[in-house]
Amino acid sequence: MDTTKGEGKLIVQKRDAALDCIRVVAILSVIVVHIAPSTVPIPQLAVFQEIGSLGVPLFVILTGYLMVDRDYNSDYLLRFIQRNLLPMFICLELWNVIWYILDRIFDSTEPARYYLKIALFLQVPKGPFWFLPMIFGLYLGIPLTSYLLHHFLAMKSHAYLYILMGCLLLTGTLIPTTNYVRMIMSGRSGLSSVLEMNIFGVNAWGGSVWMLYLLIGFGIQHFSSQLDKRLSTPWCLTGFVFSFFALLLFHLWARSRRVDESFFYTNVLVIVCSTFLFLALHKLNGLLTGLPRLSYCLARVSKLSFGVYMLHFWIFRALSSMAHSWFGLDTGYFLFVVLVFVCYLGSLVSVWVLSYIPLFRKWLLLMK
């Protein structure tokens, strides 16, 4: 069961199996994109990179879906700080220390000052750790974002809200997408907006676009009844398939011009594709509800997803080193499938064991 807040009262809701499914797909997507570059042959790598580029957007859309459309009155705001914001901050600092220790074990060349700068929010982290300061920045702005959105939506005139959304679209995706096209066609870059539309956001791997993903999640939740009427499951699947193939063609075009940009989080095609995928997966709730055992498994795995995100990178580094030294394997689909499976399973088991330690469960894994 989940607890949410509405109009100052605590409401108990039945767990949404589709949201668990989205988390599971998102974390699998992230694992795929981290393993594919070192195992999948280059001609087919683009497909796996596009699948992987949807993982973090799904997580952020889900955050907007769950966290923004709430009543952040004085009582609930204090509860949000205690249950969400403070644990996220402590979690970030603790994992930063853990990653420093793991870096030393794997003979990394990153100096201690690099991790000190991350702890003080003076450094954009390299590798998957960048997700934590980015999501913490969004959490800082969620109550204010929620208040402003509900205030402007309640007004008879939405002109100011349209202006804000237009600026966010311009800076978050239209200008960056134009810059990608410019890079591919002329080899020149540098086209960027001086506006930053994040509210307490972090300038990491896309900047303003994360606020856009957050608001997409809010829109899907807030206007769910209208979307259900206008967008059927076949339409959502069709939108996903067409946007995914368009994104793949875009990436192949970039690769043919030797522009190697793996993620394109700010690319308008990534935004459209991840949005349609979220909508399509969310429409599975009715089907999943009729499959209680599958829903139960998804819920258990979903609860461990954050910990899997934080650990899978190091488990993959250990596994890839073993595969190379013990079996002499460098690339190939067999190695890719084995590493994805073992890495996912190993991460799940590791997080599951850690979840039995109350302090780890609360402060490292963010499990309530």
pLDDT in tens, 169-202: 999 999 999 988 988 888 887 788 888 787 766 6
Distance CA 165, CA 349 (A): 42
pTM score: 0.92
Q: Which long-range contacts (CB under 8 A, 24 or more apart) does 76-80 make?
A: 76/5, 76/8, 77/143, 79/5, 80/142, 80/143
Q: Is the pLDDT of residue 10 over 60?
A: no
The strand ranges marked E within the chain are 2-6, 9-13
Provide the pLDDT for residue 153: 92
Distance CA 274, CA 64 (A): 14
Site of tokens 């973090």: 56
Terminal alpha carbon distance of the chain: 11
In this structure, of 96-100, 109-113, 229-233, 270-274, the range with the lowest mean pLDDT score is 109-113
In this structure, are residues 305 and 58 in contact, taking their beta carbons and an 8 Å threshold? no
> 8: pLDDT confidence band, cut at 50, 70 and 90?
very low
In this structure, are residues 91 and 363 in contact, taking their beta carbons and an 8 Å threshold? yes
Q: Which residues contact 278 (CB under 8 A, 6 or more apart)?
A: 22, 58, 61, 62, 65, 216, 217, 220
Nearest to 305 by CA among 69, 114, 116, 24: 24
Q: What percent of the chain has pLDDT over 90?
A: 60
Q: What percent of the chain has pLDDT over 70?
A: 90
Nearest to 34 by CA among 121, 110, 131: 131
